[in-house]
Structure 1
């Protein structure tokens, strides 16, 4: 079911790379809406727009935006279509918003020869995380040890599909913290497009020359409060792919000292399931070691160490690695984006970001 709304653009608002934000007057009042220029064109004041407000009406975690689906009255604004353009990968397939892109391993593309027989990551460290919010924290820990590292982000399709929706990615690219974004599966809009996590990892290695790869779903995630019904299972699947190709898997833990839900307090059940049950190949599990001087945080991290010990005891393919937290809070305070996970910032849930940062620090030691 899709909930539609029609309106008229009042004004353009500040957006970010790949995204135009507009204020739209609708019968229900003013609504902020996102438009992706590569898909629908650029709305201007006075344009009639068709909006998808399905998630907005349900109060889901979309950032409070509707999405512009079409500018029906101004064809001149629509993106130009070149029927002869190379590429045949269709993303968001068979939805009303499907789009065609050139895949990194497309036969028409410049990288096809490099990837046609590619089959080995040669020990490339691959960090997998449950949530998109872990990405800048992983990079903070990595850059503390290897500020010159060539890092590629592989965005899976468990959350947002357009890479442009991620202000985090836009700001990390602008700051020089990411070399490239590779979108996978139904996700699209990265610097490179890939069919699977496998081809994305190979492209990161053989096309971009990555020193480290971070794999996580795009902004937003889906969970049902059940053991298996959450989009973060893809973190375990990503590390299986990395191991199959000869990469070195690093499992970034989802941790919280502030989440009110017991299943996410300390070590989240998402990490326990994704790495203990879905992942079946060897991987390192970085565990924060040391004291932060924050009693609640230190208590949480102590709980996590015990929970990880139990997890590793049940899952022989996992290897717990103690990683010091020294200097990481300062590093997290200097990231070029606003840290936020499930609506909580660094001050509200430092344990969450520290657990991701130690994964980056450990990955740096493997390069």
Structure 2
């Protein structure tokens, strides 16, 4: 299940909070590796490290870099005393966190009383790359400054620090805080599940808008239900249970060569048409007439139209905002220019929320 090799760190190529990107010599070659500093300690050139090389060896979508399992030059690491909630439970890499809702948390009393989102808009995406256009639209178009909080689920990457995008969005003020829930970790706050994660965004961090999506690296199989993006439907249900206002980003593309993702992706058709049991606002972007006609037909055929409210918004302002803020983002390796409808859909959701009647 795990392919393990020894390597020697040759160079640190990049660092940001919680993560170091490395070049390591392994099996006679220079290859990329990632060290999660809070898990395996600081790293330096010359350190001998133990690497999980499985994904690169198998040429998987999660490949491209090895992961440091242990640094033989830094074998003992202590943890803060506060907190007793474990993430990645019962694995060699289990992580102890101070969860926002546990008794040791300074926010425990607030979380004990929190039971409603009080109508807070919650934009729910599937792919991680949807964050950027939605956040850019909120920053650019809202009638007043909004506090935007990103809630990262455990549907894909678990360490938030892997995301360069989130780091950049925080640095540029497009999102203000982060929360990680489930087995995802590394946010400004940790939460045990999606419900307490949402409530922490609202009542501890004071979110005006909550963005929810998994980290980098959605998992899919090509089968109807076999992808981690099904969580979008379940998150819609959770937001409604907590009296929030769910706004769903549909996955739309006319650049993806796979027929199941043409127009409205089968991911969206399943998550919104079958998994979601409660109502959301599904925002479509304005597109060329023939493209919009196809997507509207797919929306109707997949039971989305009868279950949810539909809105159509212009998403171009979000793409202009990405350029203004100097944010370059890709999806499945494709740029905004190569796959505009995908990013227009995420941007349109941000435009829709930015144009709500804010007090």
TM over 0.5: yes
Contact 2:124 2:246 in 1 (8 A): yes
- Report what 1:294 is aligned to: none
- Matching residue within 167, 170, 173 for 2:170: 173
Contact 1:171 1:336 in 2 (8 A): no
Residue 247 of structure 2 corresponds to residue 257 of structure 1: no
**Matched residue SS, 2:186:** coil
- Matching residue within 65, 79, 84 for 1:88: 84
- Report what 1:13 is aligned to: 13
**Matched residue SS, 2:201:** helix
Equivalent residues in 2 for 1:177-216, closer than 5 Å:
177-216=174-213
- Report what 2:64 is aligned to: 64
- Report what 1:277 is aligned to: 274
Distance 1:321 1:259 in 2: 24
- Report what 1:47 is aligned to: 47
Residue 72 of structure 2 corresponds to residue 79 of structure 1: no
**Matched residue SS, 2:33:** strand
Contact 2:133 2:346 in 1 (8 A): yes
Paired residue total: 356
Contact 1:22 1:43 in 2 (8 A): no
Cα deviation per residue 1:179-207 (whole Å; 9 max; x = unaligned)?
11110101001000001111011001001
Contact 2:133 2:318 in 1 (8 A): no
Q: Cα distance, 1:336 vs. partner?
A: 3.9
- Matching residue within 106, 110, 115 for 1:110: 106
Cα deviation per residue 1:74-110 (whole Å; 9 max; x = unaligned)?
33xx43334xx11111011111111100001111011
Distance 2:315 2:74 in 1: 55
- Report what 1:127 is aligned to: 123
Q: Cα distance, 1:117 vs. partner?
A: 2.5
Structure 1 gaps, min length 5:
292-296
Cα deviation per residue 1:147-200 (whole Å; 9 max; x = unaligned)?
621111110111100000000011111111111111010100100000111101
- Report what 2:324 is aligned to: 334
- Matching residue within 297, 315, 333 for 1:325: 315
The alignment's C-alpha RMSD in Å is 1.7
Q: Cα distance, 1:227 vs. partner?
A: 0.1
Distance 2:63 2:49 in 1: 20
**Matched residue SS, 2:243:** coil
Contact 2:55 2:63 in 1 (8 A): no
Q: Cα distance, 1:328 vs. partner?
A: 3.5
- Matching residue within 133, 137, 145 for 1:137: 133
Taking structure 1 as reference, are residues 334 and 79 closer, same or farther at Cα in structure 2, changes over 3 Å only?
A: farther
Residue 232 of structure 2 corresponds to residue 235 of structure 1: yes
Structure 2 gaps, min length 5:
none
Distance 1:203 1:186 in 2: 16
Distance 1:111 1:25 in 2: 45
Cα deviation per residue 1:114-148 (whole Å; 9 max; x = unaligned)?
01131111100011111001010111222232162
**Matched residue SS, 1:208:** coil
TM-score by length of 2: 0.95
Distance 2:201 2:207 in 1: 5
Contact 2:154 2:215 in 1 (8 A): yes
**Matched residue SS, 2:138:** helix
